[in-house]
């Protein structure tokens, strides 16, 4: 049971620093601290080792990277790459170098260009040698070795932010607050974690153990992507994402278009139910081999029958993960 929201909510803010400008150069912007919030992963708890001034939009993407890392993993080496608030690369790895390589090279490297990289393990010399060849604006890491820092000094504008708490990132339990005309929208944070025991297999074909791992990873990425969202995953690597679309069919078209031939043998996750079977058909014809979605459409039967026709397993979470 989620905690009841307060009848009166008082927020005390103190200006921490001004950004170069707001979302656009003609706007002024600043970062204000919530004096009552005690979070080890708050922005002010990161140490900046080098780089240019942090911008308003940087702060939004940094928050998305922290949220994404906290969602996808606490125990395994993991990397997430954020562009305009959405993950465009994400992967586990045997170490930090492997996680970064898989997230960048196997994911959407075109979108990753100029993005923000978050890693939940220290950045050492060999990883720095690989990373310095790529262009991105910010690194978030729990620690960076001196030799790695020396390599990054070749790029003085690259922002390096260090916080030991990133080694075991936790989701924020504070209230989610959004400004609207006339007031604020307040809600409990979405801390619901979907595990294998929670979903329902609705098709005749059952997913393999490998597909289940990929489907759960895909669901986590969907959860931290803007709605409407469809993501493709293979080998616990984010291959492609179609996010922020107004209809789910075009989400499916976008995600397979961006993936190109890499859509083959992937799994797909959808943050909301499919209102028609046309979206899943686009995914299946592109090579998707398993699908996870909330379910709950009046046409679920048609979508299930489509998956059965192609012998594709489909799982229902029976809970959605919209993010606006």
302 with 208, same domain: the answer is yes
Task: Indicate if 31 and 70 belong to the same structural domain.
Answer: yes
Most confident of 34-43, 51-60, 73-82: 51-60
* CATH value at residue 68: 3.40.140.20
83 and 154 share one domain: yes
The reply to whether 214 and 156 lie within a common domain is no
Same domain for 231 and 133: no
Q: pLDDT tens digit string along 217-269? A: 999 999 999 999 999 999 999 999 999 999 999 999 999 999 989 999 999 99
Does residue 25 lie in a domain region? yes
Which residue range(s) make up the domain with 147? 13-35+42-167
Let me know whether 134 and 19 are in one domain: yes
Quick check: is 284 in a domain?
Answer: yes
| Per-residue tokens: 44 | 């002010």
Residue 74 has pLDDT above 80, yes or no: no
What pLDDT, on the 0 to 100 scale, is given for residue 3?
A: 73
The DSSP line for 280-317 is: HHHHHHHT--EEEE----TTHHHHHHHHHHTT--EEE-
Burial of 90 (0-12, 13-18, 19+ CB in 10 A): buried
Whether 101 is in a domain gets the answer yes
Checking if the pLDDT of 73 tops 80, the result is no
Q: Is residue 3 part of a domain?
A: no
Please report whether residue 50 resides in a domain. yes
Total domain count for the chain? 2
Residue 182 forms part of a structural domain: no
Q: Is the pLDDT of residue 112 over 60?
A: yes
Euclidean distance between CA atoms 294 and 319, whole angstroms: 5
Rounded distance between C-alpha atoms, residue 93 and residue 77, angstroms: 6
């Amino acid at each position: 049971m989620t905690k009841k929201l307060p009848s009166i909510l008082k927020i005390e803010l103190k200006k921490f620093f001004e950004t170069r400008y707001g979302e656009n150069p003609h706007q002024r912007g600043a970062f204000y601290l919530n004096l009552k919030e005690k979070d080890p992963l708050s922005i002010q708890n990161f140490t900046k080792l080098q780089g240019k001034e942090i911008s308003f939009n940087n702060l939004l993407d940094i928050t998305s990277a922290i949220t994404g890392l906290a969602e996808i993993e606490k125990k395994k080496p993991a990397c997430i790459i954020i562009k305009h608030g959405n993950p465009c690369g994400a992967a586990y790895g045997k170490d930090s170098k492997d996680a970064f390589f898989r997230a960048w090279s196997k994911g959407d490297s075109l979108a990753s260009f100029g993005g923000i990289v978050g890693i939940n393990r220290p950045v050492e010399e060999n990883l720095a040698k690989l990373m310095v060849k790529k262009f991105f604006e910010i690194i978030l890491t729990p620690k960076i070795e001196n030799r790695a820092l020396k390599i990054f000094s070749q790029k003085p504008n690259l922002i390096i932010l260090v916080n030991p708490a990133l080694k075991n990132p936790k989701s924020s339990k504070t209230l989610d607050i959004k400004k609207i005309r006339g007031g604020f929208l307040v809600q409990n944070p979405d801390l619901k974690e979907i595990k294998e025991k929670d979903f329902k297999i609705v098709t005749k074909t059952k997913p393999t153990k490998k597909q289940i791992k990929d489907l759960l990873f895909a669901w986590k990425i969907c959860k931290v992507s803007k709605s409407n969202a469809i993501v493709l995953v293979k080998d616990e690597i984010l291959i492609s994402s179609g996010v922020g679309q107004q209809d789910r069919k075009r989400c499916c078209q976008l995600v397979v278009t961006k993936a190109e031939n890499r859509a083959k043998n992937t799994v797909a996750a959808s943050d909301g139910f499919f209102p028609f079977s046309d979206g899943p058909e686009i995914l299946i014809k592109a090579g998707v081999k398993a699908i996870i979605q909330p379910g709950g459409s009046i046409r679920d039967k048609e979508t299930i029958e489509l998956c059965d026709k192609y012998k594709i397993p489909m799982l229902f979470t029976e809970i959605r993960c919209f993010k606006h």
